[in-house]
């Protein structure tokens, strides 16, 4: 049965109505060229989309800075740089909004180190010493953000839940041998 099928295919390839291999090869080359052009266009659109998102982020940051305090924008910006409480709150809001935007763009949970990398790439300053611990502190305080697993952060609107807090083992204080010996001697002396 298989031999008959192979013979039919070979006969069909040899017949005059079948396409020559060179025509098929040229069609393949044309298709590959079209695909590469489309990929280049997609890359250009991706870059353009990234620019627009950055512009949106900056405009949101400006709005957050302006609505943070009733003072003039220059005062808010200078107070945020000085670390004043009102300005600091605005900077924290900008950090959280940048993280929420990043999570929405990714559409999946993101590791804290990747969030740090994205925020640094966007020149978003993290209040405090600017390390992961500071960012985690701000993320844990926002109800829109959950930690579904260790080091991963996601949006609560996705239906994910916080990972249960780990129960810490209590360490028992070790007694030095000399203290144990002294305690034993004193208890035997009193008897």
Tell me what pLDDT residue 63 has: 86
Q: Please give the C-alpha separations between residue 80 and each of 26, 97, 125, 148, in angstroms, as whole numbers.
A: 62, 16, 11, 32
Those residues with Cβ within 8 angstroms of residue 174's Cβ, 6 or more apart along the chain or in another chain: none
Residues pairing with 155 in the sheet = 145
pLDDT tens digits for 75-120? Answer: 333 333 334 344 445 777 888 999 999 999 999 999 999 999 999 8
Chain center to CA of 155: 11
DSSP reduced 3-state for 48: helix
Give the C-alpha separation, 122 to 28, whole Å.
41
Pick from 9-18, 38-47, 81-90, 167-176: least confident: 81-90
| Angstrom distance (rounded) from CA 124 to CA 93 | 11
Residues in contact with 81: Cβ distance below 8 Å, sequence separation at least 6, in sequence order: 87
- In angstroms, the Cα distances linking 158 to 19, 65, 104, 146, 177 are 52, 28, 10, 10, 55
**In the chain, where are the structural domains located?**
35-158
Highest mean pLDDT among 50-64, 112-126, 158-172: 112-126
CA distance between the termini of the chain:
102
Q: What is the pLDDT of residue 85?
A: 42
Shortest CA distance to 106 belongs to which of 59, 53, 39, 48? 53
At 150 the three-state DSSP class reads: coil
């Amino acid at each position: 049965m298989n031999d008959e099928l192979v013979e039919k295919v070979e006969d069909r390839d040899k017949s005059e109505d079948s396409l020559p291999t060179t025509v098929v090869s040229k069609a393949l080359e044309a298709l590959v060229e079209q695909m590469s052009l489309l990929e280049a266009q997609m890359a250009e659109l991706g870059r353009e989309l990234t620019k627009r998102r950055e512009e949106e982020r900056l405009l949101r940051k400006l709005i957050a800075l302006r609505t943070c305090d009733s003072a003039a924008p220059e005062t808010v910006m200078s107070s945020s740089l000085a670390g004043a409480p009102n300005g600091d709150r605005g900077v924290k809001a900008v950090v959280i909004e940048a993280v929420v935007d990043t999570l929405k763009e990714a559409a999946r949970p993101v590791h804290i180190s990747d969030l740090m990398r994205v925020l640094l790439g966007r020149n978003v300053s993290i209040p405090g010493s600017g390390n992961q611990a500071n960012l985690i502190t701000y993320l844990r305080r926002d109800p829109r953000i959950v930690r579904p697993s260790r080091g991963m952060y996601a949006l609560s609107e996705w239906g994910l839940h916080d990972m249960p807090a780990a129960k810490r083992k209590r360490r028992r204080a070790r007694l030095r041998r000399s203290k144990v010996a002294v305690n034993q001697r004193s208890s035997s002396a009193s008897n």
